[in-house]
């Protein structure tokens, strides 16, 4: 709902995002729509007969990812109660956009817990086909409308920000501005379009290794900040001159197992249809997850990429799909957009991100790189393609982002081991031969 406002609060926009709604209806099929108490009261007071043909209770209590609340009801096929046969929203058609839940009007955007200067940051879900494809206008053109949505959101509940100092790794905790400096230097490196993506990625992970191995008790103060900038510039130059190279060794066994777990939990998507599923269906889903997890740990498992109908196995994707070239314009465009958007949106610093230490969170983000190559090959094989296209990479980004940051990888005792593995960010690049299919001396087999 649009309201009169005095001075709009300024937002920080994540870099590189573009959006134009494709009216595909996927968000109305796949995502649960949670309602605020005010929306529940408003919808209870309305007679829905003109919209739905009969009086209906349009919401129900359910839980999604362990969080209980009121959600819009779903039809038996799992789609939103209001999704029409033409993939358009009946609530929008009959009552106008302002009547729709805030969650619908906001998607695919989200407000993340604030930059160092306290301003909220606008990020977006790559599960949305338009965001993943990078279509449409830069999102900065939506600033005004997003500011209004933020005001509406904050009237219902304040935006949360993670407290500082932020734990960087087991030995270091830094202020938010210092962590943001590291993220900004990564963005600068990745956006340097004059160099191939493999070189930029290598410089990014080597820079993180140098920061984490340095004995900075704090990054505060001009001297420390200048030194971090000098690190980044030095690594950039050494990679460019070929003095720093990727590790020759393939991933260790624990690293391989971790990566396969990440792959397994990435491709197991709980859609909104599960909201109204009974105990039997939820239990069989859990058993299915367990069996699928074992298959992935063995190096196989089945994948259905978002936007593709056909399931393919990891083994088939690796054997039969065309190889993925990290240096190709398609891979470069997709992965640069994805990494830069998440780094500049400060996704990893938001309280909702389930890996609280910054370095393991970055390790998880960079492991998305080989994952996206493998998923793009699966998407290509699923459509019977002979070469990977932008659309295959968009399908891969949609799949990879679905559960990104939603799994508490570093919780508990096992989580400590995973945190240590994830904190070795450079290890993410060791999976490239296994996922991309290019011949390389160090293939994990």
Chain residues in the site for ligand SF4 (CB under 6 A): 28, 33, 72, 80, 82-83, 89, 91-92, 100, 104
CB of 142 to ligand SF4, least distance (A): 17
CB of 136 to ligand SF4, least distance (A): 18
The token pair at 59 is: 């919401």
The whole-angstrom separation of Cα 108 and Cα 418 is: 30
Toward ligand SF4, which CB reaches closer, 73 or 420?
73
CB of 59 to ligand SF4, least distance (A): 11
What distance separates the 2 farthest-apart alpha carbons in the chain? 71
Toward ligand SF4, which CB reaches closer, 29 or 256?
29
**Residue burial 372-394, b: 16+ Cβ < 10 Å; e: rest:** bbbbbbbbbbbeeeeebebbbbb
CB of 121 to ligand SF4, least distance (A): 24
DSSP label at residue 431 = G
CB of 225 to ligand SF4, least distance (A): 45
Toward ligand SF4, which CB reaches closer, 33 or 121?
33
CA 253 to chain centre: 26
CB of 284 to ligand SF4, least distance (A): 26
Region of 412 please: left (phi>0), alpha (psi -120 to 50) or beta. Answer: left
Toward ligand SF4, which CB reaches closer, 97 or 154?
97
Q: Are 332 and 388 in contact (CB under 8 A)?
A: no
How many residues does the structure list for the chain? 445
Toward ligand SF4, which CB reaches closer, 92 or 247?
92
The whole-angstrom separation of Cα 249 and Cα 15 is: 34
Q: Are 66 and 352 in contact (CB under 8 A)?
A: no
CB of 37 to ligand SF4, least distance (A): 18
Toward ligand SF4, which CB reaches closer, 35 or 317?
35
Phi, psi of 239 (to 5 degrees): -65, -40
Strands 121-124 and 12-13: parallel
The token pair at 262 is: 């990440």
Toward ligand SF4, which CB reaches closer, 31 or 207?
31
């Amino acid at each position: 709902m649009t309201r009169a406002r005095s001075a709009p609060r300024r937002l920080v926009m994540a870099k590189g995002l573009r959006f134009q709604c494709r009216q595909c209806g996927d968000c109305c099929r796949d995502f649960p729509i949670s309602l605020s108490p005010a929306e529940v009261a408003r919808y209870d007071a309305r007679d829905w007969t003109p919209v739905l043909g009969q009086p209906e209770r349009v919401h129900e209590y359910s839980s999604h990812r362990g969080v209980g609340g009121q959600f819009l009801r779903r039809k038996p096929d799992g789609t939103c109660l209001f999704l029409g046969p033409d993939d358009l929203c009946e609530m929008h058609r009959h009552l106008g956009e302002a009547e729709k839940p805030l969650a619908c009007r906001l998607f695919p955007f989200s407000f993340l817990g604030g930059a160092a200067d306290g301003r909220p940051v606008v990020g977006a879900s790559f599960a949305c086909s338009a965001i993943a494809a990078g279509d449409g206008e830069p999102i900065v053109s939506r600033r005004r409308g997003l500011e209004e949505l933020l005001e509406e959101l904050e009237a219902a509940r304040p935006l949360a920000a993670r407290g500082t100092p932020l734990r960087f790794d087991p030995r270091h905790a830094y202020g938010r501005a210092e962590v943001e400096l590291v993220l900004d230097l990564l963005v600068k490196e990745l956006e340097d379009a004059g160099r191939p993506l493999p070189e930029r990625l290598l410089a990014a992970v080597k820079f993180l290794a140098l920061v984490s191995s340095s004995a900075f008790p704090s990054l505060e103060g001009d001297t420390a900040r200048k030194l971090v900038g000098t690190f980044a510039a030095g690594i950039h130059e050494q990679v460019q001159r070929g003095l720093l190279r990727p590790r020759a060794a393939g991933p260790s066994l624990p690293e391989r197992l971790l990566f396969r777990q990440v792959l397994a939990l990435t491709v197991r998507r709980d859609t909104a249809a599960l909201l109204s599923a009974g105990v039997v269906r939820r239990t069989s889903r859990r058993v299915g997850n367990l069996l699928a997890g074992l298959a992935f740990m063995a190096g196989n498992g089945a994948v259905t990429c978002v936007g593709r109908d056909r399931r393919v196995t990891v083994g088939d994707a690796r054997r039969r799909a065309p190889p993925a070239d990290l240096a190709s314009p398609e891979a470069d465009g997709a992965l640069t957009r994805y990494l830069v958007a998440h780094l500049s949106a400060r996704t990893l610093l938001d309280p909702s991100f389930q890996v609280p230490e910054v370095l393991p969170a970055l390790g998880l983000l960079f492991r998305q790189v080989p994952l996206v190559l493998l998923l793009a090959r699966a998407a290509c094989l699923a459509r019977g393609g002979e070469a990977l296209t932008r659309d295959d990479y968009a399908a891969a980004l949609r799949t990879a982002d679905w559960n990104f940051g939603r799994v508490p990888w570093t919780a508990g005792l096992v989580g400590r081991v995973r945190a240590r593995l994830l904190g070795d960010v450079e290890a993410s690049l060791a999976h490239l031969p296994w996922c991309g299919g290019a011949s390389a001396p160090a293939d994990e087999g």
